[in-house]
Amino acid sequence: MSGHFKLSFMGEKTVSLTYNAEVTHVKIALESLKDIGQVDVQRFSNTNGVDFMVTFLTELGNQPSILIYDSQLFGSRIKARVVTMQDGVLPLNYGRRNLPPSQTLFDIKNLFIGKKYNVSVRAFNSRGLGPSSFSSQIFLFGKPKPPRNVTLIVVSDTFIKIVWRPPAFNGGSLISKYRIVWGTDQIIEQRLIETTALRSLHCVNLPVNKRHISRHIFGRISAFNGYEWSEPAYNPSLQLLQLRMKYSLFKPRLKVSMRCKWLQPSRTR
């Protein structure tokens, strides 16, 4: 096989390319056409010659086919053809605007929290479209919903357990911290809990002491997604009662049994 070929897109032809052209040569030739934008080109050898695979990078949606002119290719039963491997599809929420050359600012509205967006800008003149200037992928974050099902459980008169479920909506980003506030009308304490675990249920032990005894204790939790804190979620207050055993006594009895003896708990205060 020998000779040259040309490619065409939307009525404009490339320069002549050798039958075994390098990938970079094909890419440069295609991107010199005014309407094609940026492309990715890969080359594969086969038993009959060479295959080129071209992927449109900046022109989205179902594009017109590239045409090939093979009259200058020579060899036994030479024939070149173009096959569409996959039709282009416009992404969801795709939008496009043509703006005057004096404008360098544009607000994109009606977007959705928690979705990923790509933005590109291209200049256009009488010779066609220039290369795209891409932003990095943009994530839109929002305020998470409050944590759910906040519950306080009395474990002893030295600590309580607070239990909760993650927010129903995380604002588009994983919850990374919880802020726990607990106490009484006179004593308020706070703790930050960092987490990366995707748990359906969280629980933390919180210390209490004699100052909390016989008082109503509240607990509230806010969630943070790296962008904004949620509104706090509250639990119904509970009253902490003193239920501590004074001491326990265990004595061995013979070699096959043990007697346990203890004092009754003090009365509820």
Per residue in 124-169, pLDDT tens? 777 766 666 766 567 778 889 999 998 888 887 788 888 999 999 9
Q: What's the pLDDT at 2?
A: 84
Residue 116 phi/psi, 5° resolution?
-95, 140
Strands, sheet with 159-165, edge to edge from the N-terminal-most edge strand: 148-154, 159-165, 202-207
Residues 6+ positions from 51 with CB-CB distance below 8 Å: 43, 44, 45
Q: State the average pLDDT over residues 175-185.
A: 87
Report the percentage of the chain scoring pLDDT > 70.
82
CA 31, CA 103: separation in Å to the nearest integer?
26
User: What is the structure's pLDDT at 180?
Assistant: 92
Q: Read off the pLDDT of each residue in 182-186 and give the average, rounded to a whole number.
A: 78
Whether residue 122 has pLDDT greater than 90 = no
Q: Structure tokens of 95?
A: 């939008």
148-239 sits in which CATH class?
mainly beta
The full set of domain ranges for the chain reads 2-74, 148-239
Summarised one tens digit per residue, pLDDT across range 217-249 is: 788 899 999 889 999 998 876 655 544 333 334
- Among candidate residues 98, 94, 97, the one with its CA nearest the CA of residue 111: 94
- Reported pTM: 0.49
Q: Find tokens 């009253």 and name the residue.
A: 239
Backbone angles phi, psi at 210, to 5 degrees: -65, -20
Nearest-CA neighbor of 233 among 159, 168, 160, 138?
168
Report whether 167 contacts 148 (CB < 8 A): yes
Looking at residue 222, its pLDDT comes to 93
